[in-house]
Every structure is written in structure tokens, then in C-alpha cells.
Structure 1
Amino acid sequence: MTEINSQKLKHEQVQYIEFLSKDIVQAKNFYIKCFGWEFTDYGTEYTSFSGDYVDGGFTYGDPVNGTILVVLYSEDIEATQSKVIDAGGTIVKDIFNFPGGKRFQFTDLDGYELAVWSDLLT
């Protein structure tokens, strides 16, 4: 597993997320293009990732969608949505306003649904 930066640790905060992926190389390329995550491979069936505020991994297996919705934050939601589309993601809920800001939802190349939100209403 990746070494978690102790400055990011916060009591009872989610620290690590693991996904199943039928194609780990494809998953890595998608998340690098979208969010700049860094990866460390542990053999051919597991890779860990690290981003500014998230750590996790992908292990080989058949994805299961619909159990947990991972929500990412963006300072520029339109630019993030464009990166998701350019990387091959599918927008399943276009940008919409909600009381806390804006949000959209997408599926990655394995079919997982994730969301991106911004507190900026402009």
C-alpha cells in the first residue's frame, strides 16, 4: 500500500478506497488523465494510487457499481468534466446546482459511477 502522508490524516476521515478493475492499466491511464493520480504497481493484479486528498488501490476483478458513490471536489467543475470526457468517461448526470454548489456524475471505463462537486456557483 502507499505510504499515507501524516499531514493529511484526520480522525475518522476516509483514508483509502479500493476498486475492482477488469483492466488495471486502463484504469490507471483514465485516472492519471482526469485527476493526475500517481500509481505504484504491486505485481500485475494490484496498484495503489495517491492523490492530493485520497489514497486507494485497484485490484483485478469484475467491477460492482452502485454500492458506494465516491465524490471528488473540483475548483473548476467545467474543466474537470471536460477532462473526464476527454479520458473516455461517460457523463450520467450533467452539471446541476444543489444547495451546496454544483455537481456532476460520471462513469469511468470500468462502469463505476463517481461524482464531482464544487462549492462555486459561477
Structure 2
Amino acid sequence: MASDPSAPIDYIEFTSPDVEATQAFFTEAFGWSYIDYGPDYKDIQGAGLGGGIERGPLRAPLPVLKADDLEAMLDKVKAAGAEITQEIFEFPGGRRFQFKEPGGTEMAVWTTADDDHG
């Protein structure tokens, strides 16, 4: 097992058709707070790991890894057998891509604008 992973788990993203109800539940049950990025996305604060709630149909939570070199990590996951489900795209603060590992779990890798080497 690697002692210095090149892409540690950094974030987990939840989807909900009712972001407000999910946010209210997480706040009441767990005491989490949020940064509001509009009606369709809330950035979770105080959960011990980065996270977000995105408005949309329910799906399994999305584990998001962080890499310093996004293009190199994209090449690495392709070489390891991943199916790319969303090519690299930009969002406020960084860029990311999504993939399914050979067992079928969808995951993402992101980099901040400051870390991006691409």
C-alpha cells in the first residue's frame, strides 16, 4: 500500500432532488454549515471532509479525489482500465473529470485552479 497517495480522497458529493430538505436535515442532524453557490449547489462545511449537495436525481454519493496534475491522473486512470464518464471540465475554483472504475463505482478527480498543471 502506498504511503503517499497521488490522489487522496478530498470530497464527497451528494445529489438530492430537494437540496433544501437535505441541507436542513444535515444541519439539524449533524450541525453542518454551507457555502451557498446558488439554488442548485451547496458546499458542505464542518463535516470533517469536503462535500457538497447538488440538485439532481438521486445517485450514489460521488467520491472525489484530488490530484496536482489532472491530465496525468486522467492518463493514469485510463491506463488502469477506467471508463471516462465526463471529460475534464471547468467549474468555479478548478477543473475535474469523472470515471467509473472497472467494478462500476463512479468517482471524480479534481484540481484547484492554483494546483492545475494542465
Task: Answer 1 or 2: which has greater strand percent.
Answer: 2
TM-score, normalising length: structure 1: 0.47
TM-score, normalising length: structure 2: 0.49
